[in-house]
Structure 1
Amino acid sequence: MKTGDEESSGAGGNGRSSTPGRPSRSRTQHSEPASSTPTEELAFDTRGGEYREPKALRVQREGIEELTVRLYPDRSYVFGRAPECTVVFPHDAVSRQHGRLAFREDHRWVYRDLNSRNGSYLGREEEQGLLDPRLHFQRVGPSRDWVLEVGDVVLLGNGKSRVTLLAEVPPELVAGARAKRDASPATVQLERSIERCARHHLPVFLRGDSGTGKTFIAREIHSRSGLEGNFVILNCGRLPQDPAALQSELLGHVKGAYTGASIARVGKLYSANGGTLFLDEVEFLPRLAQDFLVDVLEGSGSLAPLGAPADFREPPPRFRLISASKAPLRQTDLRPDLAQRLAAGDFIILPTLEERREDIPNLVETFLHRLKVEQQYDAELTREAIEFLREASWPGQIRELESTVRTVVAREVAHQELEGLAPYRTLVTLEAVKSYLEQRELGFGGTSSAPTKKRTTQPSVESVAAVRKRPGDLTEQDIRGALEKHQGNKTRAAQELGIALNTLKARMKALGVE
């Protein structure tokens, strides 16, 4: 990391030698979950050589447009048929939760089959056969981690659903989400701040309410900065209080450092080498961790992993430092010298959702697009529903808005399935949004959500009347009345009833309406 005109993170260098603190990146298979205590060891891949870490996934699903997903080491990716999976494969040959991809503590991506019915198959991209690719692949057993690298392919079920690990992130994903032309002034200013910070490597301090997107902004700065290393998140509120455990978390440990340490672990600081270390919720950093971090940043502390020999020598890590807090630095319990370190660069104050209400329609559009490509939910919200969301109160900020959109869409899809309607495009009405938010507020023990200010536009009487009934409650009389009113125009009749055109056609067929 760089602070002011000096470059320091406790020292410098991008060394990647095979030392007790940085295990060699040969391809070795272990049979423990990515985030659990290591257990037995199993040999899987004997190709050896330098480990080639994937940065993205190419997802291929039968009858669906190809999808590219960026990989983040702090996330896990569940593949399956269930809507709650990270990437949904709507094919009967794929189990509801088929397999999981995760970044293990030894700095490798690993795949685990989740006891799927039709199995998972692992091979190389160049080994795929013309007929059944499974003939050239190895079936992987469940309850084991299988180390994956660039060029590996995982087949799910019948082989028509697959994920391929890629060496590079596509340019359109690297670019990130730029502010749209109709974005609010606050968002335009935020975008300029991100671009500015991406063009220097000084520390950055992000201040914003919970849910305003601090982690997203930190990722954007990292991805646009062109750094080759990882983006590593250190949740300061969850760091261990025990000195040995803290050393293992930050600097790693060698194999055999303690009972159960069957593999070496790369610490957070070394994982961020050549990349970005993001200190999330830095205001909750324990005093012991503060002392430790200051020593490391000033170059006066030991950088040896837990259990390393006395003659340990490893080039110290260099990383870009980004920190985030809900509170101003002077209102935290951070050591003054550490606060000065965090403040020795750029600042970004994140706007609240109330300060950028104009962006809510764009945000809703983004959330709906994400639901469509990842979970195969094809949905839209009515104009009245979006306007209501724009004026509602959002104490949980963007996180709460996204959760609301995801939930109301999932609820409406479930209602369609209960009514036996074909999975056409789902239209989420104002009534559906209000119903969910009212139930949510009652769950919190408060009153129903209401707009925070007078609405600038009022829905017409016809629009309000159109959302009185759910699709399954519409009678033959309702449908015939709407069709007669609009002289047989099904598109306008559907708008009158507050449902999608395909839903209207399905209901007409069910009721025998010609």
Structure 2
Amino acid sequence: MTTGDGESPPTLGRPSRSRTWQALPSTRRPEVEPDADTRNERLLREPQEAGGEEPPGWVAPYREPRALLVQREGIEDLTVPLYPDRSYVFGRAPESTVVFPNDAVSRQHGRLSFREDQRWVYRELNSKNGSFLGRQEAQGVLDARLHFQRVGPSRDQVLEAGDVVLLGNGKSRITLLAEVPPGAEAGPRPRKEVSSATLQLERSIERCARHHLPVFLLGKSGTGKTFIAREIHSRSGVEGNFVILNCGRLPQDINALTSELLGHVKGAFTGASLARVGKLYSANGGTLFLDEVEFLSHVAQDFLVDVLEGTGSLAPLGAPADFREPPPRFRLISASKVPLRQTALRPDLTQRLATGDFIILPTLEERHEDIPHLVETFLHRLRVEQQYDAELTREAIVFLQQARWPGQVRELESTVRTVVAREAAQQELEGLARHRTLVTLESVRTYLEQRELGFGGPLSEPEPQGRRPSREGLTSVRKRPSDLTGEDIRRALEKHEGNKTRASVELRVALNTLKARMKALGIE
């Protein structure tokens, strides 16, 4: 892997980013200059540059969207960045990526995803009131659906920047944007009282965003390695894609591996009905993120070393013998849960991964004072994306700060999302009107106790002094229903102000079982 063509950076301001890409060496001499367009891009531009008429079969270049503008009646607009490694489900159901709380929108209304031919496609999920496709300039009429085309169900509809999708009655809409507006990410960044570990991590991200050397991220599972890699890419200001390559899921078959990394042409094998752009070419002009690099198989290691050293072919599977595309140029970021010397990776591959910068991600235990800010971020995302208006009590947040998080930030976010959803569902079960949900210490503690049981761990473990709150008042051993005494039940009911559902959770018995035991003991 080599750097750019050696152009000197400017003497003032930030260094130039246009000439510092990591370029894969090519075993063939390309027919075009290194900085020239690819063949397809040239063919798409030539008719316009020549000022002549479009030749037969000419197709306008694809305008790839980079973000979504989500507009919902009575709710603040939401901008969502688009990531090719994710899919986006729109609907009324709380588990949707973006929730539309409108009765005209079905629970699972439509899905947006990135297809292997590098196109964003929308699929109508057989909604009751349908989806309608049009352009931004077609808006402004009383009922835009009259000027839009109805999307057929269960088929992919290619979308470009400027397209608009109306859901249901047209009062819910999604607009595809050509660029990501500044600050579009959901969730505020912490601004004060952050830990020294977080400040150091922030400085490391900013440093890496100002050069284009390879970066190696080392951190436990759940510490946010993918998030950090994406932040480096985003702050670098590059125009290319952020492409994730999960090294533990790469195929063992060499042809399938070639298709995954370099792509294939239409008809390259049985079932190849569409041409596929490989991960390396998808990352051209952007960032290639090798996640879980410690799990690379021997076949994948050999393949990557050959490609990175320029001794392997860069031709897609099934490409003609005269394939002459210039090699892809991208920023390389890799991540692992274990240090490189403790992996089974080839030494020459680890040397290539370690030729640049390093970031060691802190654990949540090293930055527990950041937990209130993290909780605030998670609640903000739930509010704008899934319409959960919730907050945690101060006691609940202190409990989260003092708890142990073997799953790191991922586990903390999962916990916050779950306790909010559970509390909102409990409100609905009790017939309470949907309003701001307050998550108490008891709700958080009960969930974590049940989660610990689900993992098969002990209910209580020796804890360092001053780390975790006391669990006094919780049942330490689950009793059989027939062993529950009247005192056990009265204590639980008193604790939960007579709420039988929560008392049954506290006592770890089914609600009907609790009612039957209360009847047997003569408890009203």
What TM-score does the superposition give when structure 2 sets the normalisation length?
0.81
Partner of 1:190: 201
Question: Is contact 1:431-1:467 (8 Å) kept?
Answer: no
Partner of 1:283: 294
Matched, 1:203 2:203: no
Return the letter of the residue paired with 1:148.
Answer: L
State the Cα deviation string for residues 338-369 of structure 1 (Å, max 9, x = none).
10000000000000001110001110110000
Corresponding residue SS for 1:187: helix
- Cα separation, 1, equivalents of 2:270 and 2:225: 37
- Cα separation, 2, equivalents of 1:294 and 1:68: 39
Corresponding residue SS for 1:18: helix
The structure number with the bigger radius of gyration is 2
Give 1:327-476 correspondences, 5 Å limit: 327-448=338-459, 452-455=463-466, 468-469=495-496
Matched, 1:73 2:57: no
Question: Is contact 2:223-2:364 (8 Å) kept?
Answer: yes
Deviation at 1:170, TM superposition (A): 0.8
Shift of the 443–302 alpha-carbon distance from structure 1 to 2, 3 Å rule, reads same
Return the letter of the residue paired with 2:495.
Answer: R
State the Cα deviation string for residues 243-302 of structure 1 (Å, max 9, x = none).
100000000000000111111000000000000000000001111111111111112211
Question: Is contact 2:187-2:381 (8 Å) kept?
Answer: no
Deviation at 1:178, TM superposition (A): 4.6
Partner of 2:272: 261
Return the letter of the residue paired with 2:178.
Answer: A
Partner of 1:314: 325
Give 1:109-258 correspondences, 5 Å limit: 109-173=120-184, 178-258=189-269
Question: Is contact 2:218-2:336 (8 Å) kept?
Answer: yes
Partner of 1:18: 40
Shift of the 61–342 alpha-carbon distance from structure 1 to 2, 3 Å rule, reads same
Identity of paired residues, percent? 77
State the Cα deviation string for residues 411-446 of structure 1 (Å, max 9, x = none).
000000011111110000011001111111111101
Corresponding residue SS for 2:352: helix
Deviation at 1:458, TM superposition (A): 7.4
How many residues end up aligned between the 2 structures? 449
State the Cα deviation string for residues 132-161 of structure 1 (Å, max 9, x = none).
110000001111000000100000000000
Unpaired segments ≥5 residues, structure 1: 26-45, 475-514
- Cα separation, 1, equivalents of 2:175 and 2:58: 18
Corresponding residue SS for 1:261: coil
Partner of 1:510: none
- Cα separation, 2, equivalents of 1:227 and 1:394: 35
Question: Is contact 2:378-2:417 (8 Å) kept?
Answer: yes
Deviation at 1:13, TM superposition (A): 4.7
Shift of the 397–440 alpha-carbon distance from structure 1 to 2, 3 Å rule, reads same
Shift of the 374–328 alpha-carbon distance from structure 1 to 2, 3 Å rule, reads same
167-176 vs 358-367, which moves further:
167-176
Question: Is contact 1:255-1:263 (8 Å) kept?
Answer: yes
- Cα separation, 2, equivalents of 1:57 and 1:457: 42
- Cα separation, 1, equivalents of 2:88 and 2:25: 34
- Cα separation, 2, equivalents of 1:76 and 1:393: 32
Deviation at 1:16, TM superposition (A): 3.2
Question: Is contact 1:13-1:318 (8 Å) kept?
Answer: no
Partner of 1:500: none
Partner of 2:512: none
Return the letter of the residue paired with 1:113.
Answer: E
State the Cα deviation string for residues 447-491 of structure 1 (Å, max 9, x = none).
2377954447979x9xxx9993279679xxxxxxxxxxxxxxxxx
- Cα separation, 2, equivalents of 1:449 and 1:359: 25
- Cα separation, 2, equivalents of 1:450 and 1:369: 33
Question: Is contact 1:358-1:390 (8 Å) kept?
Answer: yes
Question: Is contact 1:122-1:153 (8 Å) kept?
Answer: yes
Deviation at 1:48, TM superposition (A): 3.7
- Cα separation, 2, equivalents of 1:92 and 1:201: 48
Shift of the 347–456 alpha-carbon distance from structure 1 to 2, 3 Å rule, reads closer
Shift of the 14–114 alpha-carbon distance from structure 1 to 2, 3 Å rule, reads farther
What TM-score does the superposition give when structure 1 sets the normalisation length?
0.83
Question: Is contact 2:79-2:185 (8 Å) kept?
Answer: no
Shift of the 451–162 alpha-carbon distance from structure 1 to 2, 3 Å rule, reads farther
Question: Is contact 1:14-1:273 (8 Å) kept?
Answer: no
Question: Is contact 1:56-1:70 (8 Å) kept?
Answer: yes
Return the letter of the residue paired with 1:329.
Answer: L
Partner of 2:11: none
- Cα separation, 1, equivalents of 2:352 and 2:187: 28
Partner of 2:24: 9
- Cα separation, 2, equivalents of 1:56 and 1:98: 19
Shift of the 117–449 alpha-carbon distance from structure 1 to 2, 3 Å rule, reads farther
- Cα separation, 1, equivalents of 2:65 and 2:373: 31
Corresponding residue SS for 1:162: strand
Shift of the 455–174 alpha-carbon distance from structure 1 to 2, 3 Å rule, reads same
Deviation at 1:174, TM superposition (A): 7.2
Shift of the 405–61 alpha-carbon distance from structure 1 to 2, 3 Å rule, reads same
- Cα separation, 1, equivalents of 2:494 and 2:380: 24
Corresponding residue SS for 1:330: helix
Corresponding residue SS for 1:206: strand
- Cα separation, 1, equivalents of 2:410 and 2:437: 22
322-331 vs 126-135, which moves further:
126-135
- Cα separation, 1, equivalents of 2:323 and 2:156: 30
Corresponding residue SS for 2:40: coil
Corresponding residue SS for 1:171: coil
Return the letter of the residue paired with 1:469.
Answer: H
Shift of the 14–84 alpha-carbon distance from structure 1 to 2, 3 Å rule, reads farther
- Cα separation, 2, equivalents of 1:3 and 1:359: 38
